[in-house]
Structure 1
């Protein structure tokens, strides 16, 4: 190749030797002419204050490449490069001749694939943490013996069967509400939010949210902002079992309890029969000891009360009253005879005074009564003279009117009496007729009412005849 330093000359002469700097310059020129776009995982990073550039290394399964990016380009890109990030870069190869080191001069950089998703998740995690949704003090304890357990997961696959099998084996008393929702792909996060609301509305006392393992992209619905806020605001505790042990999502961080797998989540909410028996046995022992202590204390209290003099000699309660009563009775027995004698003497004096005063007190009214009686006797005979004439005239008018008042009634009474006499059965009997009655007193109107041998009573004008039917015709 003619014109290239170090190349073989015409006629096959040996090439001219190059200096190291010339060779490195040749290589530098060749490398810097190659501009490529590549993807790699950051394995080392050096971003110290005061540096003019950011230095890092990207690698894949077979190779590693040192990179550098001037600080003004790095800050303009706005991508926080970290170890483990998957980045996509454009740039050219460069050679540092003084040290003989090759590096990749980065023009642009961006997170690639999962790296971008991880950045979004990290930003959301920091936002929710600043809001206090991940604080340990807001996480609620799980009920020891839930009556109703809600499950929000895919209705297909092994996860739902593992959860149901675990609950049935460890805690068969619980009622299980299942909300079958998609856990992967577009719309999965909204479906899980709706499923949480439905199982809580159905009466679930706690909710299991889970799915099986998958890639970071597969688990992205569990890193949804709305799902995270729904879990934090859920009125009952939420237990997550998402993926495998290393997998951690936003839903795990805001949940009340995070389990490593869906099966572990079911085990966290379902006590085993041995645990339940042990807890009941412990409660029974504590209750027995508590009742024994209470009964012992009550017995001692009763003994102390029974030992009081109040219960041994109850009559002592009335010692003071009994003494006072005896004293009053003695005083009354001494005072009563004297009081009775004094009252008896006083009554005698009043009787004597009344006996002396009564005749003279009645004399004056007696004379007035006698005078009034005499005057009434004199005037009594003349008091009715002026009314006598009027009274005689009224008496005559009343007698005259009374004689004529009964005339209409006498005529009606005569007509009614005549009609009653005509209709009377006695009148009929008087004309020679008779009335026949059977043994029950019913009037016999037909021969069909009696049979031979039946008794009859025949009533005539002056009495009744008892007879027996011989035959009918």
Structure 2
């Protein structure tokens, strides 16, 4: 038997044809890690290796498909791929002909997030030049969060412990669910008109799906257009949303947002005490230095023996000496007065904050009383209306108009067919019962 030898090319071409006609290999879905990524500058094709813990396979993505990628592919990315399998006849290697690539584990939501992020960045919505400064000493803060929620509790406790003289108004919002962002948008637009010093938008952590409403373009543009400075504390430290990029300050957590929004009153008091002590120390030093300077001038030879040098000018020098001493005394007195004025100003400022806080509490109490009074009045009116309607439908009311209720054996009779001749019946009038016997003609 004569042996027929194949060429290498013939074998590779045979394998290629077998693979190309295998329907199971025309469309496959495969996942793995990108490595050895290269882009051909001339053709625009992407070449890379897809690997897992045990194996790898070469892959090519032609220019037309590569241009449709919605994210920046890089080495180390874990991806989901739609492709077909082929054999490269020149080398005999199996390879993937790739059509689509998506990030593994995130999918469409991540791609939408990245696309919107890129769009708003190019429009300049993330630019630092548009970000407003957060007030150092706010009088009123608006907090938008789910009610009740752990995030809201963290924010309120932090503000209370740091700056209790600040007024805080809570505006409950839904933080997840379909179209929750539309309610957040309306609330932000309303709060922006109320002249708050700062707005805090807070939410606890969650997956990309849970934070979906905070990645909506409408909400991002609303935040960008706000006149009131806004701090976002959405999720945990690793969570980033589109709102975080647009806001005036992105805090790592809701608690961090409250810290950014308020000064620490205890630290302010400590700083004031340190400044007071420093002022006292400087004043003491100034006084001691001035005393030493006065003593030096008093012992100065010209002041003690003016007649030996200036003769008749002694009186003039005494006059100069007195002016110098009085001037130093005036400077010391002025410094003491300024110190007292500073203390009064700081004390007055604290009183103003406390008075405003008390006025706010009184106003809320009055509003609650007013609302309760209105609710009781409305409930009384509604109750009387229902009683009137019920009375109109009452059988007793019907009896008063001359009607009667006929019964036999405690059962109401509504038809002549319900009774027979000589049956005993009861007739109820508006003022009592009578018994009767039926007599049919």
The Cα of 1:281 is off from its aligned counterpart by 2.6
* Relative contact order higher in (CA < 8 Å, ≥ 6 apart): 2
- Tell me, yes or no, if structure 1 residue 232 matches structure 2 residue 220: no
- 1:419-471 deviations in Å (ceiling 9; x for gaps): xxxxxxxxxxxxxxxxxxxxxxxxxxxxxxxxxxxxxxxxxxxxxxxxxxxxx
Residue in structure 2 matched with residue 241 of structure 1 by the alignment = 233
Which of 47, 61, 85 is the matching residue for 1:55?
Answer: 47
Show the counterpart of 2:73. Answer: 82
Residue number in structure 1 paired with 2:245:
253
Aligned with residue 210 of structure 2, among 208, 213, 218? 218
Whether the 8 Å contact between 1:66 and 1:103 is mirrored in structure 2 is yes
Change (3 A) 1:253 1:55: same
Written as runs of structure 1 = structure 2, the 5 A alignment for 1:189-338 is 189-284=181-276, 307=323
Q: Distance in 2 between matches of 1:29 and 1:68?
A: 18
Q: Secondary structure at the match of 1:114?
A: coil
Distance between the aligned counterparts of 1:20 and 1:270, measured in 2?
A: 77
Structure 1 residues 287 and 138: alpha-carbon distance in aligned structure 2, compared to 1, 3 A threshold: farther
Cα shift at 1:241: 1.5
1:49 shift after superposition = 0.8
Decide whether the 8 Å contact of 2:71 with 2:114 is kept in 1. no
Q: What's the counterpart of residue 135 of structure 1?
A: 127
Does the Cα contact within 8 Å between 2:195 and 2:228 map onto a contact in 1?
A: no
> Within the alignment, does 1:46 sit opposite 2:33 as a pair?
no
2:91 counterpart of 1:103: no
Distance 1:161 1:280 in 2: 30
- Give unmatched runs, 5+ long, in structure 2: 294-318, 325-441
Correspondence for 1:186: 178
Instruction: Tell me the CA shift for residue 17 of structure 1.
Output: 9.2
Are positions 1:36 and 2:56 aligned together? no
Once residues 259 and 223 of structure 1 are traced to their aligned partners in structure 2, the CA distance between those partners, rounded to angstroms, is: 16
Q: 1:81 to 1:142 in 2, by over 3 A?
A: closer
CA shift, 1:127, in A, is 3.3
| Cα separation, 1, equivalents of 2:233 and 2:239 | 10
* Deviations 1:151-200, CA, capped at 9 Å, x for gaps: 11222432112222222233322222112212223212222222323444
Using the alignment, how far apart are the partners of 2:224 and 2:53 within structure 1? Answer: 41
User: What is the deviation of 1:206?
Assistant: 0.9
In 1: Cα distance, 2:29 partner to 2:113 partner: 24
| 1:122 equivalent in structure 2 | 114
- How much has 1:250 moved relative to structure 2? 1.6
For structure 1, the residue ranges without an aligned partner over 5 or more in a row are 1-12, 309-473
TM-score, normalising length: structure 1: 0.51
Deviation at 1:266, TM superposition (A): 1.7
For 1:21 and 1:205, locate their aligned partners in 2 and report how far apart those are by CA, in whole Å: 77
Q: TM-score, normalised by structure 2?
A: 0.55
Aligned to 1:145: 137
Q: Distance in 2 between matches of 1:188 and 1:60?
A: 40
Contact 2:70 2:115 in 1 (8 A): no
